[in-house]
């Protein structure tokens, strides 16, 4: 690392830990050893993005978005009320005929252009996401932003090939789509939702999470830069009330939601009986199963990535480790040692492994469940790392002696907390893995291919990773069973959710 870079990281560390109080309308500088310096602005205030432009909310209200690494506000964002949502849906409805009349080839060009601009502005997006979300820059730079661009590239590829995707049927757009997303992968979730919708010829109103709206609003700038016709994508910022107004709007043809199971159930009731398509991507409590014949050191790395990636704010996080009894002690020893080496701190430092917990509310939830784990008799192991004095932080944590009945084995913690259970036989592993109301993901570490197939066939989880974990690709469908939701995002299955299929014969 060069002297200059060290200095700039120190400066970033100083601001990220709050020793320089942030002013609204700050110009940011981020410097990396290999890629040069980036400057970008965070405005004092952001309005709603409706019909191709930024407009003041009719509500007249704004709320602050916070940098979780400091607890300080970054800027203010408009709060959309029902009238604002109505205006955005009207814009999407008005834009629909023009957008769906475009050929697949024309739509593909817009998507390619958006993907390329995202790549060009990748560092700005990575920094902004890190500031607004608290996740480490190494993750936003290497995972969130490249994957978001990949989703636009991938779906650009489908836009003019929908006929091939559904042979013998006629794919037509669903119509106006209302989308609501969570805070843990703000830009990536927006890309997951918007790219297939546009490829399918639909128009969109999307509501980002209230605690991480900034990259969606910057994506609006990308849409302007790409010349996307006005009204094709609209962003309404606000809290759950804005989301409620959106999913209940009578002019929607489909609702796509990613978030908690509790809100997913509320939305399911809200759209019931209205003839509105619905896809739900909800919570999870994944089993990460390690057999005695696994490559143990690789499995330790996989388990660490499975639970500590993105501070554990991952719906498919491997939050329940099921380790075969014969290797339990060895595995836990190695895990505890590895946890000590996780670098927790300034998310803008590219050597940081784990950043800030996203919000005070999420930190309180993690603390409550960890206290419940101790009360219920599990054994707590925590990294001795030093945590910054300001902002929201939690050390990498593991519980052993966990019983299936404990809250930490049943409830989604959505933080850097691993619950370790044991099993003796593959049958017991399957039984314990499936003993949950969720069914989003699972992981298997073993040397035996036949065992992987045997387990994958029996695990009630939408995604099963083998000798790896938390791997994502635009071509690979993602979604859950049971209380983890229904519908898929990504791949051919994901595209299916954004078209309706017609059958018909022509005269002659």
Q: What is the 3-state secondary structure (H, E, C) of 264-279?
A: HHHHHHHHCCCCCEEE
Considering the rule CB under 6 A, would residue 182 count as an interface residue with ligand NAD? yes
Closest approach, Cβ 97 to ligand NAD, in A, equals 27
Nearest to 208 by CA among 32, 65, 370: 65
Q: Which is nearer to ligand NAD, 52 or 238 (CB)?
A: 238
Residues binding ligand NAD: number (CB under 6 A): 30
Going by C-beta distance under 8 Å and a sequence separation of 6 or more, which residues neighbour residue 271? Answer: 247, 255, 278
| Given 17, 67, 244, 311, the residue binding ligand NAD (CB under 6 A) | 244
| Residue with Cβ nearer ligand NAD (13 or 413) | 413
Q: Which is nearer to ligand NAD, 346 or 441 (CB)?
A: 441
Q: In the beta sheet, which residues pair with residue 257?
A: 180, 280
Stretch that binds ligand NAD, among 2-10, 152-160, 168-176, 263-271 (CB under 6 A): 263-271
- Closest CB to ligand NAD among 247 and 378? 247
User: In the Cβ-directed half-sphere of 164, how many Cα atoms lie within 13 Å?
Assistant: 6
- Site residues for ligand NAD, 427-456, by CB under 6 A, read 440
Q: How far is the CB of 240 from ligand NAD (least distance, A)?
A: 3
Supply the minimum distance, in Å, between the C-beta of residue 209 and ligand NAD: 4
3 state DSSP class of 489: strand
Coil, strand or helix at 206: strand
* Of 220, 226, 263, 409, the one binding ligand NAD by CB under 6 A: 263
Q: Is 260 in the site for ligand NAD (CB under 6 A)?
A: yes
The residue number whose beta carbon is nearest to ligand NAD equals 243
Question: Does the footprint of ligand NAD cover residue 229 (CB under 6 A)?
Answer: no
Q: Is 209 in the site for ligand NAD (CB under 6 A)?
A: yes
Residues in the chain: 508
According to the binding rule CB under 6 A, does residue 86 interact with ligand NAD?
no
Q: 104 or 415: whose CB is closer to ligand NAD?
A: 415
Q: Cβ closer to ligand NAD: 13 or 245?
A: 245
* Rounded CA separation 48/41 (Å): 18
Work out whether 414 is an interface residue with ligand NAD (CB under 6 A).
Answer: yes
Cα Rg of the chain, angstroms: 23
Instruction: Tell me whether residue 11 or residue 241 sits nearer to ligand NAD (CB atom).
Output: 241
Q: Can residue 205 be called a binding residue for ligand NAD (CB under 6 A)?
A: no
Asked if 259 is part of the footprint of ligand NAD (rule: CB under 6 A), the reply reads yes
Question: What torsion do the CA atoms of 56, 75, 365, 422 make, to the nearest 10 degrees?
Answer: 110
Decide if residue 465 touches ligand NAD (CB under 6 A).
Answer: no
470 lines the binding site for ligand NAD (CB under 6 A): no
Longest alpha-carbon distance in the chain:
77
Q: Which is nearer to ligand NAD, 184 or 346 (CB)?
A: 184
Cβ pair 282, 256 in contact under 8 A: no
| Residue 144 interacts with ligand NAD (CB under 6 A): yes or no | no
User: Smallest gap, in angstroms, from Cβ of residue 193 to ligand NAD?
Assistant: 10
315 contacts ligand NAD (rule: CB under 6 A): yes
Cβ distance to ligand NAD smaller for residue 200 or 415: 415
Active site residue ranges: 281, 315
Shortest distance (Å) from residue 52 CB to ligand NAD: 23
Report yes or no: 324 and 433 within 8 Å, Cβ to Cβ. no
Q: Of residues 57, 134, 186, 284, which one binds ligand NAD by CB under 6 A?
A: 284
Q: Binders of ligand NAD among 354-393, rule CB under 6 A?
A: none
For residue 392, give every residue at least 6 positions away whose Cβ sits within 8 Å of its Cβ, in sequence order, or none: 68, 71, 134, 356, 357, 358, 359, 360, 362, 363
Kindly tell me which residue out of 175, 186, 283, 415 binds ligand NAD, with binding defined by CB under 6 A. Answer: 283
Burial 195-225 (b: 16+ CB within 10 A, else e): bbbbbbbbbbbbbbbbbbbbbbbbbbebbee
Helices (H), 212-279: 214-225, 240-247, 261-271
Applying CB under 6 A, among 67, 70, 184, 397 the residue interacting with ligand NAD is 184
Which residues, in sequence order, are CB contacts of 388 under 8 Å at separation 6+? 17, 69, 345, 346, 356
- For 455, counting Cβ atoms within 10 Å of its Cβ (0-12 exposed, 13-18 middle, 19+ buried), the class is buried
Instruction: Name the residue with tokens 């017609």.
Output: 502
| One of 174, 180, 430, 497 touching ligand NAD (CB under 6 A) | 180
Neighbours of 47 (CB within 10 A): 20
Q: What is the DSSP string of 387-427?
A: PPSSS-----EEEES--TTSHHHHS---SSEEEEEEESSHH
Binding site for ligand NAD (CB under 6 A): 180-184, 207, 209-210, 239-240, 243-244, 247, 258-260, 263, 266-267, 281-284, 315, 412, 414, 440, 480, 484-485
């Amino acid at each position: 690392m060069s002297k200059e870079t060290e200095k700039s990281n120190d400066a970033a560390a100083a601001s990220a830990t709050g020793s320089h109080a942030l002013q609204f309308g700050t110009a940011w500088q981020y410097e990396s050893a290999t890629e040069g310096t980036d400057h970008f602005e965070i405005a004092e205030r952001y309005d709603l993005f409706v019909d191709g432009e930024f407009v003041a909310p009719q509500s007249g209200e704004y709320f602050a978005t916070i940098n979780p690494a400091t607890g300080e506000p970054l800027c203010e964002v408009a709060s959309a009320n029902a009238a604002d949502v109505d205006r955005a849906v009207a814009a999407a409805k008005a834009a629909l005929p023009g957008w769906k009349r475009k050929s697949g080839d024309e739509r593909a060009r817009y998507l390619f252009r958006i993907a390329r601009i995202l790549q060009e502005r990748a560092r700005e997006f990575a920094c902004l996401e890190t500031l607004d979300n608290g996740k480490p820059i190494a993750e936003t730079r290497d995972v969130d932003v490249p994957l978001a661009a990949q989703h636009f590239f991938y779906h650009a590829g489908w836009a003019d090939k929908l006929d091939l995707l559904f042979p013998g049927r006629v794919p037509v757009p669903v119509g106006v789509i209302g989308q609501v997303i969570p805070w843990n992968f703000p830009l990536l979730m927006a890309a997951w939702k918007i790219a297939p919708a546009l490829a399918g010829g639909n128009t969109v109103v999307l509501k980002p999470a209230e605690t991480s709206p900034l990259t969606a609003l910057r994506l609006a700038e990308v849409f302007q830069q790409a010349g996307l016709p006005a009204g094709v994508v609209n962003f309404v910022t606000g809290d759950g009330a804005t989301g409620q107004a959106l999913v209940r709007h009578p002019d929607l043809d489909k609702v796509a939601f990613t978030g908690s199971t509790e809100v997913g159930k509320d939305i399911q009731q809200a759209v019931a009986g209205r003839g509105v398509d619905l896809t739900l991507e909800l919570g999870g409590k994944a089993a990460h199963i390690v057999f005695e014949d696994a490559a143990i050191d690789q499995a330790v790395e996989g388990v660490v990535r499975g639970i500590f990636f993105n501070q554990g704010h991952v719906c498919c996080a491997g939050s329940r480790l099921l380790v075969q009894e014969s290797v339990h002690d060895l595995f836990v020893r190695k895990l505890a040692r590895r946890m000590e080496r996780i670098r927790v701190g300034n998310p803008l430092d590219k050597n940081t492994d784990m950043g800030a917990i996203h919000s005070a509310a999420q930190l309180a939830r993690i603390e409550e469940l960890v206290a419940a784990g101790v009360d219920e008799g599990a054994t707590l192991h925590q990294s001795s790392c030093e945590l910054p004095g300001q902002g929201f932080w939690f050390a990498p944590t593991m519980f052993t002696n966990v019983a299936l009945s404990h809250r930490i084995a049943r409830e989604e913690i959505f933080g850097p907390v691993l619950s370790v259970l044991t099993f003796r036989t593959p049958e017991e592993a399957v039984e314990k893995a499936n003993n949950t109301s969720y069914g989003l993901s699972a992981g298997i570490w073993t040397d035996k291919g036949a065992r992987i197939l045997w387990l994958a066939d029996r695990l009630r989880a939408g995604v099963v990773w083998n000798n790896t974990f938390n791997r994502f690709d635009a071509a690979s469908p993602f979604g859950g069973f049971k209380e983890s939701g229904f519908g898929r995002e990504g791949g051919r299955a994901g595209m299916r959710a954004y078209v309706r299929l017609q059958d018909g014969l022509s005269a002659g």
